[in-house]
Amino acid sequence: MSEYEGMPVFFVVPDAIDDPDRVSGGNVYDQHVREGLRRSGWEVRMVLIPAGDGSMTARKLSQLPDGALILIDGLIAVRESEALTAQSSRLRIVVLAHMVADFPAEREALRAAKRIIATSGWTRSELISRDFAELHDVVVAHPGTDPAALTLGSRSGGRLLCVGVVAPHKGQDLLVRALAHFTDIDDWSCTFVGSLDAAPGFVYELTQSIHRSHLASRVTFTDVLAGSQLESAYSRADLVVVPSRNESFGMVVAEALAHGIPVVAAHVGGIPEAISSTAAGILVPPEDPWALEVVLRQWLSSPGRRTELRTAAMEARASARTWTATVAVIASTLHDVALRGTAVTA
């Protein structure tokens, strides 16, 4: 029997956690935490909070029993800091910080927690440097990856894939600006996978830029893909490009490497942690479409370079982080708070 058998935890998350039309890295992470904790023996009681309902969080927390153990998604926590502060002496609160949200009341929300679980070392460092949390109150539980089929890649290497909500912070416009200079190269295409609803104005400007650059026949938008459809997209990819302006970790990077696909990504946030020490990932300066163009041109024009990167990606695939390891860190942290409610060194 697990040491966690029957231990209750209330998991406070956005109500879109399982919405197939609102796939996000945070929701995927929360899903794995929920299922992993249950497999470990925890009694996970879900508390779903609709977006924009400021009173729901306060009402739900006030209804929980004294001393209840709470794991709350960071986006809800920083949005509803008053509710957390009001209940902090009564409940044992652990915040799951997917990112640094930069909300005005973020410090108050995080200071109300017994412990904070960050999804990257970069996020942990940011929280501490901004005085949002004490060093010993923050632990890191990196995202894992699911077992994935190996993608062998095509001869030309021309199938580029960019996964993420189509919005300014993901930097798809930077990639399009780089690709605009590739009209002299044949046999390449780029597929953008991600929601088109989050930033309609940005999507409009992006599509206009694609048409002005005569890339319409080379670029495809699929909207959100999940499950077997997303797997199919990875199975057809030669290179995954992550041009983000900010990224707390970079789950797409980890997923690509789990498939044995090389990655070109912006050197921002926690992306270097996702790439780790593998030679299968190339980091470029953020906000620099010229640097992105140089690296992509080298990829498309050099079979030898593609072979090197693919070999490194296959090696990285064998050492991919697992969700089991992620959940183990979270379970241990919750267990410690449940028993003592005090902080320990991370």
Report the CATH number that the domain containing residue 221 is assigned in CATH.
Answer: 3.40.50.2000
Residue 204, pLDDT > 70, answer yes
User: Does residue 64 belong to any structural domain of this protein?
Assistant: yes
What pLDDT does 274 receive?
94
The answer to whether residue 3 sits within a structural domain is no
The strand pairing partners of 221, in sequence order, are 192
Query: How does residue 344 score in pLDDT terms, banded at 50, 70 and 90?
Result: very low
- Using a pLDDT cut of 90, give the percent of the chain over it: 83
**Inter-axis angle of helices 25-39 and 251-258, nearest 10:** 70
Place of tokens 């980091």: 283
Tell me: do 200 and 334 sit in the same domain. Answer: no
What are the tokens at 294? 């140089």
Q: For residue range 212-230, what is the model confidence (pLDDT) as tens digits? A: 999 999 999 999 998 899 9
The DSSP call for residue 151 is P
E strands, the chain, where?
8-14, 43-49, 69-73, 92-97, 115-118, 138-140, 159-163, 189-193, 219-223, 239-242, 263-266, 281-284
By the 8 A CB rule, do 113 and 223 touch?
no
Backbone φ, ψ for residue 76 (5° rounding): -70, -40
Instruction: Please indicate, yes or no, whether residues 210 and 238 belong to a single structural domain of this protein.
Output: yes
Q: What is the pTM of this model?
A: 0.92
Question: Which range is least confidently modeled, 18-27, 155-164, 264-273, 310-319?
Answer: 18-27
- Do 129 and 165 share a structural domain? no
The predicted pLDDT at position 299 comes to 97
Instruction: Judge if 189 and 294 occupy the same domain.
Output: yes
Which residue segment(s) compose the domain that 257 sits in?
A: 159-317
Find the DSSP H helices in 40-105. 54-62, 74-79, 81-87
The sign one gets for the Cα dihedral 177, 195, 273, 118 is positive
192 and 221 co-located in one domain? yes
Q: How far apart are alpha carbons 110 and 116 in whole angstroms?
A: 7
Check whether residue 193 and residue 293 sit in a common domain: yes
Tally of domains in the chain: 2
